[in-house]
Structure formats: C-alpha cells, structure tokens
Structure 1
Amino acid sequence: MGEWRTSRYSERENCVEVALGPAAKIRDTKDRSGGTLEISTRSWDALLSALCRPAPPDLPEV
C-alpha cells in the first residue's frame, strides 16, 4: 500500500488523506484511527476526473 498523502492545496489537519495501491484508501485527517474508505483505483480515477471537470452551464449554483 502506498504512503498516506494530503492535497497540497489543503490544510494539514482539515482534509482527507489518500493512500494509493491496488485499491485507494481514504481517511479523515481529524480522525485517522476512525476507519478508512477503500475503493478501486478505477473509481478513484473516475472521482478525480469528475471533480476536475467544469460544471455544465445549465446547472444552478448552490
């Protein structure tokens, strides 16, 4: 399993961390011992792609 990493754009103790390997493991930096979410690396790639994609122009702002 890979090393736990946080985004370089976030605060060190107020975000999530991810460890990449055969699966992607995700945990909360405020509660590291509280458990992890494990998803496939394919799902992790799809999530990142969706987050980086611009919102469609017909969606109202929230």
Structure 2
Amino acid sequence: MRQNFHFRKSSFSSEAVECVEIATNIPDIVAIRDSKAPEGPVIQLSPAPWDTFRDALVAGAFNR
C-alpha cells in the first residue's frame, strides 16, 4: 500500500517537468520521486539524511 504523500516540487522549477518532488506531510518520513514517473518508485528517508543532502545541495557540494 502506498502512503498518502502530498508531493510538491521546488518553486524554482516553475513549469519544468523533469523535477524531483518531495513530500513531508507524514511525520518522520521524507518521500522523494521523479515528477516524470509519479506512479514509479518512491524513496523514503528519515528527516536527518534528507536535511544533510539538502544542506549539501544548498552549499553547492554537487555543482559541476
């Protein structure tokens, strides 16, 4: 059974269709999916690893 996640994408994505969407509406779970495949797999993390990943993105750790 799939959780009842309420996914959203970044406001920076505007009308882009190739985005990562996240859901944080269920306590202690951050869900991540590909916007091109909404019925596809969903990655579920606890908030701590998500926060670490998000902070690294913001800091530019993955910039080319």
Short-chain TM bin = 0.7 to 0.9
How many angstroms apart in 2 are the aligned matches of 1:54 and 1:7? 17
Counterparts in 2 of 1:52 and 1:29: CA distance versus 1, 3 Å: same
Contact 1:6 1:12 in 2 (8 A): no
Which 4+ stretches in 1 moved above 3 angstroms? none
Larger of the two Rg values belongs to structure: 1
Give me the TM-score of the superposition, normalised by structure 1.
Answer: 0.74
Structure 2: tracts of 5 or more residues without a match: none
Higher strand residue share = 1
Q: Over the residues paired in the alignment, what is the CA RMSD in angstroms?
A: 2.1
Structure 1: tracts of 5 or more residues without a match: 56-60
Counterpart residue number, 2:33:
27
Counterpart residue number, 2:44:
38
Give me the TM-score of the superposition, normalised by structure 2.
Answer: 0.72
Select between 12-21 and 29-38 the one with higher mean Cα deviation: 12-21
Percent identity of paired positions between Structure 1 and Structure 2: 33
